[in-house]
């Protein structure tokens, strides 16, 4: 992979990470204090139609310890 493509991919993934964290934090705030205890199952889907790519990552977001 050339340097320009590599940097473009990294920039996109950084944007995904930052904006996803902000969205999760906002959803937890909007759901109220009880939602912060979790755990919450999470699923992220990355799709690049032109490449025929659909990449799925599943995990769990643990809540705050009480």
CA dihedral (17, 19, 25, 28) in degrees, to 10, reads -100
Which pTM was predicted? 0.82
Domain ranges of the chain: 3-61
Cα 14 from Cα 54, distance rounded (Å) = 19
Cα 64 from Cα 28, distance rounded (Å) = 11
Match 């599943």 to its residue by tokens. Answer: 58
pLDDT tens track of the chain, all 66 residues?
799 999 999 999 999 999 999 999 999 889 888 888 879 999 999 999 999 999 999 999 987 765
What is 7-38 written as a DSSP string?
HHHHHHHHHHHHHHHHHHHHHHHHH-GGGGG-
């Amino acid at each position: 992979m050339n340097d320009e493509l590599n940097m473009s991919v990294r920039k996109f993934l950084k944007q995904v990470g930052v904006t996803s964290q902000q969205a999760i934090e906002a959803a937890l705030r909007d759901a109220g204090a009880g939602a912060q205890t979790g755990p919450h199952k999470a699923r992220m889907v990355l799709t690049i139609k032109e490449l025929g790519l659909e990449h799925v990552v599943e995990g769990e977001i643990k809540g705050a310890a009480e």
